[in-house]
Amino acid sequence: MFNYIKADLYRLFHKKSNFVFYGVVFALFIAVVIIARTSVEGRTPFAEGYLELGIILLTQFFPLVFGIQAYVAVYTNDLSANTYQNIFTNGLSKVEFIIGKVITMIVYLLTTFLSGAILYSIMYVILLMIEDGSFDFESFKNLAIVSVTIFLGILGYATVANILAYFTQNSTISVISMGVLVSGVILQIFNLISLFTDKIEFLREYTLSYHMNEATNGMMPTILGGEASYSASFLAWGVALIYLIVASVIGVVILNKIEIKEGK
């Protein structure tokens, strides 16, 4: 299994387009911050709003952009390249493959999250220096908690999307399913159905989307200077881990039963 993780990380960090993607995203972020900072010159300190911007970016932007990119890079590249045959005929069991992929996803996401966090922090320190402000440790703690929530949420969504990925062995379907999950469409569907009937309303609290949403709502008051509520975040972490484990077990069962497609 560790050989597989080493190989997969080698692949990911030799894919030039990954670096280009994050380079562009980070460059855009820097540009946006500079433009926003220069447009608020002389008014309220930008550094104060910068931390709230971080929470908005984490909750609205990260899952869709970083989450889907990571999912494509880690999981669906194998499907689009049809490399499952080569991978599974080298003595790697399905269990090792799935656990290996989770670990690879964790390492890859950590790398991207940390890179983003370092850039964000550097920009924050520069802003503080310009505005002669003081470091807001409380807000950074809230950001860290939101980061962990989003991190675990992406992991949980990825393993659920993989159920369909393994079954269909189709990269397009798996990316679409990941997009549907991280965008909160599941909750929207529940909202729509609740207009007509409340018979399945009880299922809402079992969805990861519900708990991710509750966790986000719990942290949003900090944007307006209010108190954060951490209990929903901690509960979301637990639900995400349960989803990760259950979806992984289902993934193993599916992979052991299906025929690996030959590819064109």
**Using CB under 8 A as the criterion, what x/- string covers residues 156-195 for binding another protein?**
----------------------------------------
Total of residues contacting another protein (CB under 8 A): 31
**Using CB under 8 A as the criterion, what x/- string covers residues 65-84 for binding another protein?**
------------x---xxx-
Is 141 a residue that touches another protein (CB under 8 A)?
no
- Cα–Cα distance for residue pair 163/149, rounded to 1 Å: 22
**Using CB under 8 A as the criterion, what x/- string covers residues 220-259 for binding another protein?**
------------------------------------xxxx
Q: Which is nearer to another protein, 34 or 249 (CB)?
A: 249
Work out how close the CB of 256 gets to another protein at its nearest, in angstroms, rounded to a whole number. 8
Closest CA to 216 of 152, 122, 263, 133: 152
* HEC readout, 143-173: HHHHHHHHHHHHHHHHHHHHHHHHHHCCHHH
DSSP 216-257: HHHHGGGGGT-----HHHHHHHHHHHHHHHHHHHHHHHHHHH
Q: Which is nearer to another protein, 16 or 199 (CB)?
A: 16
DSSP 13-72: TT-HHHHHHHHHHHHHHHHHHHHHHHHTTTSS-HHHHHHHHHHHIIIIIHIIIIIHHHHI
Work out how close the CB of 86 gets to another protein at its nearest, in angstroms, rounded to a whole number. 6
**Using CB under 8 A as the criterion, what x/- string covers residues 11-50 for binding another protein?**
x--xxxx---------------------------------
- Chain positions 81 to 120 lying near another protein, rule: CB under 8 A, are 81-83, 85-93
C-alpha dist (Å) from residue 186 to 37, 98, 152: 36, 25, 18
- The single-letter code of the amino acid at 236 is A
What residues make contact with another protein under the rule CB under 8 A? 3-4, 6-8, 10-11, 14-17, 77, 81-83, 85-93, 256-260, 262-263
